[in-house]
Amino acid sequence: MSQKTITRADLADAIFENLGLSRNDSSDLVENIIDEMSDALVRDESVKISSFGSFSARQKAERIGRNPKTGEEVPITPRKVLVFRASHVLKNRINDSV
């Protein structure tokens, strides 16, 4: 199976084809969805999309890392990372096609 990369433009095309909106409106809507999810995550809200999955920000404490080349110890600053948990529906859909 040759792997493709799907982008915003493909998602906008699908909206254009399914709903008959203009191409401009379709790509604005894709942007709206991504922006609203990003803003919620930045506000520290989790984003839960039923039958797809949930995104949440997790706080990581400071820890000591090491430069693997020099062996030098460097502090890794506390930071937030995003975690995505796929729903069972999504996991099953991905495995059904195997």
Please report whether residue 27 would count as binding another protein according to CB under 8 A: no
In angstroms, rounded to a whole number, what is the distance separating the alpha carbons of residues 48 and 83? Answer: 12
Identify the burial level of 12 via C-beta atoms within 10 angstroms of its C-beta, where 0-12 means exposed, 13-18 middle and 19 or more buried: buried
Q: Could you say which residues in the range 33-92 bind another protein, by CB under 8 A?
A: 33-34, 36-38, 40-42, 45-53, 55, 57, 79-82, 84, 86, 90-91
Identify the burial level of 77 via C-beta atoms within 10 angstroms of its C-beta, where 0-12 means exposed, 13-18 middle and 19 or more buried: exposed
Q: Which residues make up the interface to another protein (CB under 8 A)?
A: 1, 3-8, 10-11, 14-15, 18-19, 21, 25, 29-30, 32-34, 36-38, 40-42, 45-53, 55, 57, 79-82, 84, 86, 90-91, 93-98
